[in-house]
């Protein structure tokens, strides 16, 4: 056997290869770990994975990458972030310590609205530079594909312009970037009390998103955008051929999970308050549940999403960072793994698909979390040989090397681009 490859990854202590979510297959059964194998790469894609002894004989003239007996996994897929913004909200730490809730801070002009003001005031160069730095850090800590939402301008023209800025960043790479239009992130101050009117204005933008944004999202929560307001907005996006996502049930069970399932949403996200009826509707659909334990843990003001109920019902569950300036101020997904294990009661065999293939399905890109023949050679080398350790040790990232398209793009927590 002769294998045409330009790179060969050897000395792999353990190789994690999650499968894609499939109806009737438990999430833990998507998990696969292999040993004594090597990974051959050609033109930035997986060529062959097979016994190391055989591939060493079958491949000649290729660059050899030694994993040093350590863990190799697919690159992480972060299916929910808000990394396009200016400024920060460190002043809210004291408010939260005094017991102020998310909606109380928002009603006082803080929260999202303070970030909106900072983002509107920033120049394009400033906004791109701050977001680029966040993306570089995310890659350095193992994220190879991620979604980034708009949502911090809250004017139709400004939100459309944010899509254009994200397209600029998508072309830069090396990250693989999915763009979500979240113009309906909050009701802006100038439309206070007129949420339905604001959604009508945003709908005028939908035709211009085709071919530019990958998804349209809405923050469907009681007191923000109500269920009966969200439905026509999402139906309009879907009519334009745009895929849809929903922020739901973060603050209360507003029936958002059931709405997303009924509308064929690619994912419904948050779900901290989703009850049994919402779980059942998701079970009957193909919609992915994207859980954000970093947010519920950081806010420390309510329950965590019912991961066990979702998993036991057969709903595909992804875990994401929700990186944003207020409720989950992080840019990295890897440090979230221990909290997902602890707070959501997810086992490592369930978590690895949740941050790779299932997260990829939540973005319409399952190949980003796989390592199968023809898939992008996006993979990580970790400072351990045990796949359970990244789900156990918190506080530091154990990602040592990040490869995108077979190219080393970060090492020891530092980007190389």
CATH number at residue 236: 3.20.20.140
| pLDDT, mean of residues 112-121 | 91
| Structural domain range at position 142 | 77-368
**What is residue 370's predicted lDDT score, i.e. its pLDDT?**
97
Show Cβ contacts of residue 102 under 8 Å, excluding neighbours closer than 6 positions: 111, 251, 299, 301, 326, 327
- d(C-alpha 88, C-alpha 22), whole Å: 40
Are 162 and 143 within one domain? yes
Does residue 22 sit within a domain?
yes
Backbone angles phi, psi at 29, to 5 degrees: -80, -5
Question: Which of 368, 389, 407 represents a domain boundary (last residue)?
Answer: 368
Cα torsion 148, 154, 158, 161 to 10°: value is 20
Alpha helices in 23-123 (DSSP H): 52-58, 92-97, 102-107, 112-121
Are 89 and 23 within one domain? no
- Three-state secondary-structure class, residue 75: coil
- d(C-alpha 403, C-alpha 275), whole Å: 40
Are 352 and 382 within one domain? no
Are 377 and 321 within one domain? no
pTM of structure: 0.96
- d(C-alpha 18, C-alpha 20), whole Å: 7
Residue 48's pLDDT band (cuts 50, 70, 90): very high
| pLDDT, mean of residues 205-220 | 98
Model pLDDT for residues 256-306, shown as the tens digit of each residue: 999 999 999 999 999 999 999 999 999 999 999 999 999 999 988 889 999
Are 228 and 89 within one domain? yes
Whether residue 106 is predicted with pLDDT greater than 90 in this model: the reply is no
Q: What is the largest CA-CA distance in the chain?
A: 70
**What is residue 11's predicted lDDT score, i.e. its pLDDT?**
98
Does residue 1 sit within a domain?
no
Does residue 54 sit within a domain?
yes
Are 105 and 21 within one domain? no
Rounded to 5°, the CA angle 217-89-94 comes to 125
Does residue 45 sit within a domain?
yes
Are 277 and 410 within one domain? no
| pLDDT, mean of residues 180-197 | 95
- Three-state secondary-structure class, residue 268: strand
Are 220 and 270 within one domain? yes
- Three-state secondary-structure class, residue 266: coil
Does residue 207 sit within a domain?
yes
CATH number at residue 67: 2.30.40.10
Does residue 2 sit within a domain?
no
Whether residue 194 is predicted with pLDDT greater than 80 in this model: the reply is yes
C-alpha closest to that of 146 among 59, 76, 72, 70: 76
Query: Which of 113 and 332 is assigned the larger pLDDT?
Result: 332
Are 330 and 388 within one domain? no
Model pLDDT for residues 235-247, shown as the tens digit of each residue: 999 999 999 999 9
**What is residue 401's predicted lDDT score, i.e. its pLDDT?**
98
Which pairs count as long-range contacts for 51-56, CB under 8 Å and 24+ apart, including other chains?
Answer: 52/10, 52/11, 52/12, 54/1, 55/3, 55/8, 55/10, 56/8, 56/10
Does residue 323 sit within a domain?
yes
Q: Are 160 and 208 in contact, with CB atoms under 8 Å apart?
A: yes
Half-sphere exposure of 361 (CA within 13 A, CB side): 24
Model pLDDT for residues 146-173, shown as the tens digit of each residue: 999 999 999 999 999 999 999 999 999 9
- d(C-alpha 16, C-alpha 8), whole Å: 17
Are 278 and 356 within one domain? yes
Are 215 and 364 within one domain? yes
By CB atoms closer than 10 A (0-12, 13-18, 19+), residue 323 is buried
| Number of domains comprising the chain | 2
DSSP secondary-structure letter at 117?
H
Question: Which of 352, 368, 384 represents a domain boundary (last residue)?
Answer: 368
Other CB atoms within a 10 A radius of the CB of residue 61 amount to: 8
Are 168 and 228 within one domain? yes
Q: Which residues pair with 277 in a beta bridge?
A: none
**What is residue 347's predicted lDDT score, i.e. its pLDDT?**
98
């Amino acid at each position: 056997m002769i294998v045409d490859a330009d790179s060969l990854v050897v000395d792999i202590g353990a190789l994690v290869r999650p499968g894609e979510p499939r109806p009737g297959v438990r999430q833990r059964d998507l998990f696969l770990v292999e040993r004594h194998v090597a990974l051959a790469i050609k033109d930035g894609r997986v060529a062959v994975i097979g016994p190391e002894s055989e591939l060493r004989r079958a491949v000649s003239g290729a660059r050899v990458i030694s994993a040093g007996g350590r863990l190799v996994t697919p690159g992480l897929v972060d299916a929910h972030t808000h990394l396009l913004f200016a400024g920060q909200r460190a002043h809210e730490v004291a408010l939260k310590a005094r017991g102020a809730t998310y909606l109380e801070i928002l009603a006082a002009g803080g929260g999202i609205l303070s970030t909106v003001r900072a983002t509107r005031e920033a120049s394009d160069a400033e906004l791109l530079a701050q977001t680029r730095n966040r993306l570089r850090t995310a890659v350095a800590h193992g994220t190879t594909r991620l979604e980034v939402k708009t949502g911090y301008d809250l004017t139709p023209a400004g939100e459309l312009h944010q899509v254009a800025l994200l397209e600029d960043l998508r072309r830069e790479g090396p990250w693989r970037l999915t763009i979500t239009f979240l113009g309906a992130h909050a009701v802006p101050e100038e439309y206070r009390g007129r949420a339905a009117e604001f959604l009508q204005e945003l709908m005028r933008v939908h035709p211009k998103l085709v071919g530019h944004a990958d998804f349209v999202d809405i923050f469907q929560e009681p007191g923000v955008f109500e269920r009966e307001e969200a439905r026509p907005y999402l139906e309009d996006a879907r009519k334009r051929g745009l895929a849809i996502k929903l922020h739901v049930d973060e603050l209360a069970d507003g029936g958002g999970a059931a709405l997303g399932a009924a509308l064929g949403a690619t994912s419904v996200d948050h779900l901290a308050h989703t009850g049994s009826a919402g779980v059942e509707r998701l079970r009957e659909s193909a919609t992915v549940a994207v859980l954000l334990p970093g947010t519920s843990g950081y806010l420390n003001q309510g329950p965590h999403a019912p991961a066990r109920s979702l998993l036991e019902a057969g709903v595909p569950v992804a875990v994401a960072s929700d990186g944003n300036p207020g409720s989950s101020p992080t840019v990295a997904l890897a440090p979230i793994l221990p909290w997902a294990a602890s707070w959501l009661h997810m086992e490592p065999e369930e978590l690895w698909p949740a941050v790779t293939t299932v997260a990829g399905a939540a973005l319409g890109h399952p190949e980003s979390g796989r390592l199968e023949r023809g898939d992008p050679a996006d993979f990580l080398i970790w400072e351990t040989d045990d796949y359970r350790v990244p789900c156990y040790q918190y506080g530091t990232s154990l990602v040592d090397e990040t490869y995108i398209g077979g190219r080393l793009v970060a090492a020891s927590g530092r980007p190389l681009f």
